[in-house]
């Protein structure tokens, strides 16, 4: 009988578990590798480490943060990433162009359509495709619905991290209605797999339209009522005002995009700055605020929901007839070259950069996720605040860990 | 402990003025009628022998001690259970044993651990909030600490880096405890089976009681899985402290 001697490999979980890697020890078992590590892991007078995560109810996923505390005040922090690294970019390099849409969905599991959108944009640029207008309208319609669902979830979570349980019960009602509606359109509640290179997967159907109609008739008042729970709550407003203030220069220097940037007073919206799809034809405002604190970030998202409702209304009125897919071959072999797609998602600017070498699989697909960028600014925003404010500031930035770790 | 009202020989219900009906010194041994007013029921022990069901083999249970019905499934085989009015909720008789009562309590107040890993966590939260309210079936508030939790719902892709912390969470939970694998990634690797950094199914590193496939499963799917788990809890599956494993574990399951 042959005894198999197996070399330990990094991707064998049992090997990983055998090594006592000390995951819950705040101080890493190895000597400091950088100057920053050496500085961070040296305790000053009266300071201590507290390990937060990777399992923590309000880290919005599996994020680990090592906090250096002085009393109840956060002095410094060190985020540890990679607990949700699924290797999507590598899988995409080994996938057919059509199959990549499916792989990209789980990166942004709250508003999946915005992860598919830059990819199909980039692929259409490589193929020089003309997308039918009806398909573009359907993309914008479903995308804005998804944006409202994401912002509704944000309102609930933000209040949950500040200690209020009720708003999430209300926001999940809205989210479930929208998601069921999109499920009737796309076939799935969360990971839609709906956009295709050259169009969308299915046309508007009766169930979707009837659900959308009944929801739209009361959406504005319902969302108004839900936001009133927080807008007029003195505890919430006092707590969130001035918390995690980000000024304009810092936001621009750290490449913050999306609502977090617009809350500091910069009216940058990819839909207006680098127009794509049919957004130039639509009438909507880009709301901004100047305070740059958590309350401003929250109120800005409330304003965005109202603008999204306007866009949906215009899409429904202007929806043209016609095909929903361009004529494309089953097997796509784009010309060798590079393409870039960017969309405005509820979190910020999603960007994909694709390099094609002429085969049926991309040579490289680089995914840029704004959640990762926003998480980088936590190290500037949190120190000086109390421990309880850490998760509140993080929640106000609204990161999704799927996109951070990819 | 078996409770039957109106056992033969006992007065058919105590009159409100009859103070001596249930308060006799022989309350521990004699059949006593179930008192009519509820205020006295709190103070008096009611012990009535089982007259509903006898075992075919008298020495099969506890060496010839008087047979008592220990499980709903046994009771369901009796003639009495086949009548329409003898549903579980409308029972006049509750034949039971402390273990079985505890199992019922455990099954109807499952406290899951709030540990979402990835996408499925959103659907898990959707199952717990307004529209599909898991509380209705006794799947209770999500606990933030593993020391207060019964059930670990692994919702989302498990990566190799996260497998160590997840296993530690499982070990920190007090027994008895159960594990639900939610989503294709935790069942078999799912769409990330080809990836270099994921664990192909969490049953490679920890025991699993219920698998809920789907990418992600709908909230109704998770609730169905949890209802299956409730059956398993009543069947004494899952991870128990060492002393409680033994004759209570049924064969063939």
SS (H, E, C) B137-187: HCECCCECCHHHCCEEEEECCCEHHHHHHHHHHHHHCCCCEEEEEECHHHH
How many domains, chain B?
A: 1
A371 and A141 in contact (C-beta within 8 Å)?
no
How many angstroms separate the CA of residue B229 from the nearest CA in chain A? Answer: 23
For chain A, what is the mean pLDDT?
A: 87
Same-domain status, A302 and A188: yes
For chain B, what is the mean pLDDT?
A: 70
Search chain B and give the residue with CA nearest A92: B195
Which residues of chain A have a Cβ shorter than 8 Å from any chain B Cβ? 10-14, 16-17, 21, 23-24, 54-57, 61-62, 82-88, 90-91, 94, 102-103, 106, 109-110, 153, 168-170, 172-173, 175-176, 179, 189-191, 401-402
Q: For chain A, how many helices (H) and strands (E)?
A: 17, 8
State the pLDDT at residue B172.
Answer: 83
Q: Which structural domain range is residue B129 located in?
A: 108-243
The CATH code of the domain that includes A114 is 1.10.645.10
> Residue B22 pLDDT > 90, yes or no?
no
Average pLDDT value for residue range B158-186? 86
* pLDDT confidence bin for B11, thresholds 50/70/90: very low
How many angstroms separate the CA of residue A248 from the nearest CA in chain B? Answer: 32
A11 and B197 in contact (C-beta within 8 Å)?
yes
State the pLDDT at residue B18.
Answer: 42
> Residue B247 pLDDT > 60, yes or no?
no
Do the domain assignments include residue A328? Answer: yes
State the pLDDT at residue B106.
Answer: 84
State the pLDDT at residue B83.
Answer: 56
Contact B129 A62 (CB under 8 A): no
Task: Give the containing element (helix H, strand E) for A356.
Answer: strand A349-356
State the pLDDT at residue B43.
Answer: 54
The CATH code of the domain that includes B223 is 3.40.50.12280
> Residue B123 pLDDT > 70, yes or no?
yes
Same-domain status, A76 and A186: no
State the pLDDT at residue B165.
Answer: 83
Q: pLDDT tens across B136-148, in order?
A: 888 877 888 888 8
Contact B131 A106 (CB under 8 A): no
B163: nearest CB among A17, A24, A179 = A17
Same-domain status, A74 and A206: no
Collapsing DSSP to helix, strand or coil, A46 comes out as coil
Q: What is the DSSP string of A105-125?
A: GGGGSSSTHHHHHHHHHHHHH
Average pLDDT value for residue range B35-60? 52
Q: Which residues of A touch B121 (CB under 8 A)?
A: 61
A51 and A26 in contact (C-beta within 8 Å)?
yes
Write out residues in chain A with pLDDT < 70, as ranges: 1-25, 57-59
Search chain A and give the residue with CA nearest B144: A57
- Provide Rg for chain A, Cα atoms: 23
Do the domain assignments include residue B31? Answer: no
Phi then psi for residue B61, to 5 deg, are -110, 115
Task: Produce one character per residue of B31-64: b if its CB has 16 or more CB atoms within 10 Å, e if not.
Answer: bbbbbeeeebeeebebebebebbeeeeeeeeeee
Show Cβ contacts of residue B179 under 8 Å, excluding neighbours closer than 6 positions: B151, B152, B154, B170, B202, B206, B207, B208, B209, B210, B238
Q: pLDDT tens across B56-106, in order?
A: 555 554 554 444 555 555 666 666 655 544 444 444 455 556 667 777 888
Going by C-alpha positions, the residue among A205, A202, A182 that lies closest to residue A192 is A182
Do the domain assignments include residue A129? Answer: yes
Going by C-alpha positions, the residue among A314, A326, A307 that lies closest to residue A195 is A326
Contact B165 A13 (CB under 8 A): no
Going by C-alpha positions, the residue among B138, B99, B120 that lies closest to residue B226 is B138
State the pLDDT at residue B40.
Answer: 47
How many domains, chain A?
A: 2
How many angstroms separate the CA of residue B128 from the nearest CA in chain A? Answer: 9
Task: Give the containing element (helix H, strand E) for A372.
Answer: helix A370-376
| Structural domain ending residue among the three candidates A58, A80, A102 | A80
Distance CA B189, CA B157 (A): 8
């Amino acid at each position: 009988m042959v005894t198999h001697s197996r070399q330990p490999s990094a991707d064998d979980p049992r090997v990983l578990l055998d090594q006592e890697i000390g995951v819950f020890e705040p101080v890493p078992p190895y000597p400091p590798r950088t100057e920053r590590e050496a500085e961070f892991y040296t305790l000053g007078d009266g300071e201590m480490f507290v390990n937060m995560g990777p399992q923590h109810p309000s880290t919005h996923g599996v994020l680990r943060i090592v906090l250096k505390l002085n009393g109840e005040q956060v002095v410094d922090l060190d985020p540890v990433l990679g607990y949700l690294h699924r290797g999507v970019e590598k899988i995409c390099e080994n996938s057919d162009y059509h199959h990549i849409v499916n792989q990209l969905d789980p990166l942004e599991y709250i508003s999946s359509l915005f992860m598919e959108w830059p990819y199909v944009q980039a692929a259409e640029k490589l193929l020089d495709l003309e997308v039918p207008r009806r398909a573009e309208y359907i993309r914008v319609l479903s995308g804005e619905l998804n944006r409202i669902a994401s912002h509704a979830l944000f309102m609930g979570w933000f209040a949950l991290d500040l200690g209020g349980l009720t708003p999430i019960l209300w926001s999940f009602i809205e989210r479930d209605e929208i998601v069921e509606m999109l499920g009737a359109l796309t076939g799935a509640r969360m990971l839609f797999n709906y956009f295709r290179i050259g169009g969308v997967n299915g046309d508007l159907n009766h169930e979707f339209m009837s659900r959308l109609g009944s929801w739209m008739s009361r959406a504005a008042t319902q969302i108004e009522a839900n936001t009133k729970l927080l807008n007029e709550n003195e505890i919430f407003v006092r707590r969130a005002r001035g918390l995690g203030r980000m000024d304009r220069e810092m936001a621009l220097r750290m490449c913050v995009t999306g609502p977090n940037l617009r809350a500091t007073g910069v009216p940058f919206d990819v839909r207006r700055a680098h127009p794509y799809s049919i957004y130039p034809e639509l009438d909507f405002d880009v709301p901004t605020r100047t305070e740059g604190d958590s309350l401003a970030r929250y109120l800005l998202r409330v304003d965005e929901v109202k603008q999204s409702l306007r866009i949906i209304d215009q899409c429904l009125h202007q929806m043209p007839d016609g095909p929903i897919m361009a004529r494309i071959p089953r097997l796509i072999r784009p010309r060798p070259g590079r393409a870039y797609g960017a969309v405005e998602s509820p979190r910020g600017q999603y960007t994909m950069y694709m390099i094609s070498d002429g085969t049926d699989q991309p040579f490289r697909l680089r995914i840029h996720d704004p959640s990762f960028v926003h998480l980088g600014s936590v190290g500037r925003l949190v120190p000086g605040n109390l421990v309880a404010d850490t998760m509140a500031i993080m929640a106000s930035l609204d990161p999704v860990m799927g996109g951070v770790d990819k | 402990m078996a409770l039957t009202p109106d056992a033969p020989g006992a007065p058919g219900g105590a009159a409100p003025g009859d103070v001596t009906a249930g308060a006799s010194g022989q309350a521990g041994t004699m059949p006593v009628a179930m008192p009519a007013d509820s205020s006295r029921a709190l103070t008096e022990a009611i012990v009535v022998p089982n007259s509903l069901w006898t075992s075919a083999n008298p020495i099969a249970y506890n060496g010839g001690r008087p047979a008592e019905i220990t499980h709903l499934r046994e009771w369901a085989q009796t003639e009495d259970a086949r009548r329409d009015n003898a549903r579980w909720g409308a029972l006049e008789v509750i034949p039971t044993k402390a273990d079985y009562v505890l199992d019922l309590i455990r099954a109807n107040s499952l406290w899951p651990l709030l540990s979402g890993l990835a996408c499925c966590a959103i659907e898990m939260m959707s199952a717990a909030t307004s529209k599909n309210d898991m509380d209705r079936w006794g799947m209770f508030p999500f606990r933030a600490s593993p020391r207060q939790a019964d059930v670990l719902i692994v919702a989302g892709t498990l990566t190799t880096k996260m497998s160590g912390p997840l296993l530690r969470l499982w070990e920190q939970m007090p027994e008895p405890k159960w594990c639900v694998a939610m989503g294709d990634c935790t069942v078999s690797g799912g769409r990330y089976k080809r990836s270099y950094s994921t664990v192909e199914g969490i049953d490679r590193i920890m025991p699993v009681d219920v698998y809920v496939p789907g990418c992600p499963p709908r909230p109704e799917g998770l609730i169905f899985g949890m209802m299956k788990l409730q059956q398993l809890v009543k069947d004494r599956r899952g991870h128990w402290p060492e002393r409680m494993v033994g004759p209570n574990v049924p064969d063939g399951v």
